[in-house]
């Protein structure tokens, strides 16, 4: 069974930047990311910039990102290949 990886906020920034998201603003450790589609639709995500994210927080960010990114594309970044 695949396990949730241990990721940092910087890891998430790299992953989501590769998927087209850009940093829009930051307040404390919370960063807002946005991706604008060719039709003009905006997709927003909020992540935390911690050294290591708790499992629950990481899973919540994963579920939030699934609204915009297909699971087949996102899952390899968040889960091990077991």
pTM recorded for the entire structure: 0.90
Report, at the CATH architecture level, how domain 9-74 is classified: 2-Layer Sandwich (3.30)
Tens digit of each residue's pLDDT (9 = 90 or more) over 47-71: 999 999 999 999 999 999 999 999 9
Q: And the tokens for 17?
A: 């930047």
Residue 54 near residue 38 (C-beta atoms within 8 A): no
Q: Rounded distance, CA 44 to CA 22, Å? A: 10
Q: Residue 1's pLDDT band (boundaries 50, 70, 90)?
A: confident
Q: Is 2 helix (H, G, I), strand (E, B) or coil?
A: coil
The structural domains of the chain, with segments of one domain joined by +, span: 9-74
pLDDT of residue 82: 66
Number of Cβ within a 10 Å radius of residue 33: 21
């Amino acid at each position: 069974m695949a396990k949730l990886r241990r990721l940092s906020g910087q890891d998430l920034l790299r992953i989501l930047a590769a998927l087209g998201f850009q940093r829009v603003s930051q307040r404390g450790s919370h960063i807002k990311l946005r991706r604008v589609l060719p039709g003009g639709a905006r997709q927003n995500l909020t992540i935390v910039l911690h050294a290591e994210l708790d499992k629950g927080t990481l899973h919540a960010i994963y579920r939030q990102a699934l609204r915009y990114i297909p699971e087949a594309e996102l899952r390899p970044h968040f889960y091990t290949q077991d």
